[in-house]
Amino acid sequence: MNLTNATVLITGGSSGIGYGIAEVLIAAGARVAITGRNAEKLKAAAAALGAVPVHADVSQEADVLRTMQEVVAAFGHLDVLVNNAGLGTFSPLIEMDLAGFERTFATNVTGAMLMAREAARHFVGRQAGHIVNIGSTASHRGAPNGTAYYASKFALRGMTECWRAELRTHNIRVMLVNPSEVITGFGAAAGFEQRASDSKLRPSEIAHAVRAILEMDDRGFTTELTVFATNPVG
């Protein structure tokens, strides 16, 4: 696709990977809307980026419906959904807190599904569209303390496969990008410290990957792309 004047909605675009994707796609000529729950953070990010802010929580169905309405009102139509909003809760299985488990699924799984459903209704009507789901290397393997987060990313990968199978015949490309560790606010929000190092991934590497898969001619598409740090010492 040609990103010049393309219209893009990035959930969770107010920080981290989503913000990085917004920056790169805007630089490529796209018109971008971003969502987030924290209104002040969202407003500041949108102003810095030159993006349209939509204050919305992807886990709330009414917010998701309003998000699509606001995006279509701002841009006239939508070309690309980047399902990026996500959070993590981490604990051993025997200490699993039900509320934390459900909170993770509400955003990472239910929220992604609701956003994709609304975007897909719009895309099927247009017989065109692109969905990029931000998964994780956690969508491919398990790890201690990972029950809630890893399972949510396995679920997102499973949904990606289903949506791709359903939507391909409508000329809708459904793609999954799996970052390994990226230095963002993710760890702090999940209650752990990410050890920063110059050799670890930054949001810009993931943004570059998203731009690259979108820019491929619509005749083809990358089904899934995993991004590792080359040598993440430290």
- Give catalytic residue positions: 149, 153
Q: Does 214 bind ligand NAP (CB under 6 A)?
A: no
Please state, in angstroms and rounded to a whole number, the distance separating the CA atoms of residues 75 and 7: 7
Collect all residues with Cβ–Cβ distance below 8 Å to 217 and sequence separation of at least 6.
Answer: 1
Residue nearer to ligand NAP on the CB measure, 3 or 21: 21
Please state, in angstroms and rounded to a whole number, the distance separating the CA atoms of residues 107 and 63: 12
**With CB under 6 A as the contact rule, which of the stretches 11-19, 68-76, 116-124, 161-169 interacts with ligand NAP?**
11-19
Q: Does 37 bind ligand NAP (CB under 6 A)?
A: yes
Q: How far is the CB of 112 from ligand NAP (least distance, A)?
A: 8
Please state, in angstroms and rounded to a whole number, the distance separating the CA atoms of residues 101 and 83: 20
Query: How many chain residues touch ligand NAP (CB under 6 A)?
Result: 30
CA distances 70 to 57, 102, 120, 228, Å, are 14, 28, 16, 35
Which segments of the chain are extended strands (E)?
7-10, 31-36, 52-55, 80-83, 129-134, 172-179, 224-227
Q: How far is the CB of 83 from ligand NAP (least distance, A)?
A: 8
Q: Per DSSP, what are the bridge partners of residue 32?
A: 8
CA distances 44 to 19, 35, 109, 141, 201, Å, are 11, 12, 27, 36, 24
Q: Rule CB under 6 A: choose which of 49, 53, 57, 146 binds ligand NAP.
A: 57
Q: Rule CB under 6 A: choose which of 3, 7, 18, 82 binds ligand NAP.
A: 18
Q: How far is the CB of 219 from ligand NAP (least distance, A)?
A: 28
Please state, in angstroms and rounded to a whole number, the distance separating the CA atoms of residues 53 and 109: 22
Q: How far is the CB of 218 from ligand NAP (least distance, A)?
A: 25
Q: How far is the CB of 2 from ligand NAP (least distance, A)?
A: 26
Q: Rule CB under 6 A: choose which of 26, 61, 181, 232 binds ligand NAP.
A: 181
Nearest to 88, CA basis, from 157, 17, 135, 146 = 146
| Residues numbered 88-147 forming contacts with ligand NAP, rule: CB under 6 A | 107, 111, 134, 136
Please state, in angstroms and rounded to a whole number, the distance separating the CA atoms of residues 82 and 160: 12
**With CB under 6 A as the contact rule, which of the stretches 13-21, 24-32, 47-55, 119-127 interacts with ligand NAP?**
13-21
Residues near ligand NAP (CB under 6 A): 11-12, 14-18, 35-38, 41, 57-59, 84-87, 107, 111, 134, 136, 179, 181-182, 184-186, 189
